[in-house]
Amino acid sequence: MGLGVERTDFLSVPTQDLARAERFYGETLGLPRAKGDSRFAEFETGNVTLLLYDPTAIGTEFAPSRNGFALRVPDVADARARLEAEGVEFFGGIVDSGVCHMAFCADPDGNSIILHRRYAP
């Protein structure tokens, strides 16, 4: 007896500074803004929405997400270089798993982000 889940609608991304997070996701990463109000902002990634929110506004404590989500980019090395030029710091080098390239960084609140490109089946 399943719940009938159809898909993932959004991922929650906690922030301590909504305006700063909006600049990072909208300007630095270049994601299109969906909607939002003074409590949250939504950005589209092509298949899932990122919901930026301040956890203290809903009665919980802030803690960055270390689980990470992967953003598919055309070229991981190029995307990494562009973000480094904007001051984004990466953890380690580009990882080649044998089927994909990955580069690991974090947003200004410490939420983990993975730049990703699969190149083999």
Contact 103, 20 (CB under 8 A): no
Give me the mean pLDDT over the 32-57 stretch. Answer: 91
Contact 114, 66 (CB under 8 A): no
Fold of the domain spanning 10-118? 2,3-Dihydroxybiphenyl 1,2-Dioxygenase; domain 1 (3.10.180)
38 pLDDT higher than 80 = no
Exposed, middle or buried: residue 25 (CB in 10 Å: 0-12, 13-18, 19+)?
Answer: buried
User: Looking at residue 1, what is its pLDDT?
Assistant: 73
Residue 3 has pLDDT above 90, yes or no: yes
DSSP three-state, residue 59: coil
CA torsion sign, 42 to 19 to 71 to 75? positive
Q: 3-state class of 26 per DSSP?
A: helix
Query: Bridge partners of 95?
Result: 102
Domain ranges across the chain? 10-118
The predicted-structure confidence for 60-116, as pLDDT tens digits, reads as follows: 999 999 999 999 999 999 999 999 999 999 999 999 999 999 999 999 999 999 999
Quote the pTM value.
Answer: 0.92
- Is a pLDDT exceeding 90 seen at residue 37? no
